[in-house]
Structure 1
């Protein structure tokens, strides 16, 4: 039986990808960089510093700014993002997540958050979900963000649970890599091709139920070499 479920935030508990995109797009425009929604896919699951590096690289400006200037850009983006997420409320919880969190707690399963977002606690409070979580990893304390496994490994350590008894849930390729490398069971939410390395893939969070997690866990002994897409 699994002992913990570790969640990503954006795209799994709520969807703030558009807020991130608008904030990054505004900063990129100021720097003379045109940021498309397609390129934004490369920023999902990636922390703020790495996202900015990729944006600057897109514009050929990766080596044009000092560390101090980079810090100012990061703060500018984050300030705008915080303004945008102030409107987030419990209505923005993705389908099925509220019930799943309640069922996990009822079954004494520990719940963790492994997000690259330093604003995760604020978002959880806005959603009314903060008290559901037994631990929240602070990404600013990590040496290596996703796709490195440290975020998910740290969540397990903070909960006192070995990763082999943990399930990780993600919607981004970098997150699935991190879960797999931490030796947890990985569940992807979304596109089959993007998340092809996940152990199991579900179409949406509405399919994330406690019974479904039990079914997936019990089938772990017969793990498929090709990801299972559950309709």
Structure 2
């Protein structure tokens, strides 16, 4: 029996990818780099600085900026992103998420959030689901980003469970890889990306039965 749940945020609980894309696209344009939605898919699940590095490399500008300048660029993107998020509300929860979290609460199943987003606590508040999470992993404490399993191992430890006692939910291939390397059962939320390695892939939480899932 599984005893805990570990969630990614973007593409799993809500879809803020469109806001990330708009903010990254605007910043890239300022740097004379053009990115499209297909390229934006390669940024899913990775940190802000790693995303910036990929954009700069894509535009052939990876050696132009100092670390301090890159941090300023990333902060500028984040400010724009947070402005775009100002209208986020509980209506932006993905299908079935609220009922699934409520079912976990009723059963006393602890939940942790394993997201690379430094804005995760604010986003959970806007979605009115922060109370469902016993812990939110702080990405600033991580040495490595996904697909490294570190964030998932920390999430499991934060709710006092071994990785094999938990179920992880992801929509990105890098995240699924991290979940599996951590030793967890992996649920993939269907996306344009092939979720190789997931134990089960569903279109939404409406397809999942918590009692059945916990038996894996």
- TM bucket (normalised to shorter chain) is over 0.9
- Matched position secondary structure for 1:86: helix
Residues 4, 161 of structure 1: 8 Å contact kept: yes
Q: Distance in 2 between matches of 1:144 and 1:209?
A: 33
Structure 2 counterpart of 1:185: 185
Structure 2 counterpart of 1:71: 71
Q: How does 1:1-231 map to 2 (within 5 A)?
A: 1-191=1-191, 194-214=194-214, 217-218=215-216
Structure 2 counterpart of 1:221: none
* Deviation (angstroms), 1:95: 0.8
* Deviation (angstroms), 1:145: 1.2
* Deviation (angstroms), 1:63: 1.2
> Which 4+ stretches in 1 moved above 6 angstroms?
none
* Deviation (angstroms), 1:169: 0.3
- Matched position secondary structure for 2:87: coil
Q: Distance in 2 between matches of 1:197 and 1:24?
A: 29
Larger relative contact order (Cα-Cα within 8 Å, sequence gap ≥ 6): 2
- Matched position secondary structure for 1:34: coil
Q: Where does structure 1 lack aligned partners over 5 or more consecutive residues?
A: 219-231
Cα deviation code 1:108-136 (max 9, x no counterpart): 11101000100000000000011110010
Residues 173, 193 of structure 2: 8 Å contact kept: no
Greater Cα shift, 198-207 or 105-114: 198-207
Q: Distance in 2 between matches of 1:191 and 1:144?
A: 24
Count of aligned pairs: 216
Q: Where does structure 2 lack aligned partners over 5 or more consecutive residues?
A: none
Root-mean-square deviation (Å)? 1.2
Structure 2 counterpart of 1:223: none
Cα separation, partners in 2 of 1:125 and 1:193, compared to 1, 3 Å: closer
Q: Distance in 1 between matches of 2:208 and 2:31?
A: 40
* Deviation (angstroms), 1:89: 0.3
* Deviation (angstroms), 1:51: 0.4
Cα deviation code 1:54-111 (max 9, x no counterpart): 0000001111100110011010000000001111000001111101111111111110
Residues 96, 209 of structure 1: 8 Å contact kept: no
Cα separation, partners in 2 of 1:16 and 1:62, compared to 1, 3 Å: same
* Deviation (angstroms), 1:210: 1.4
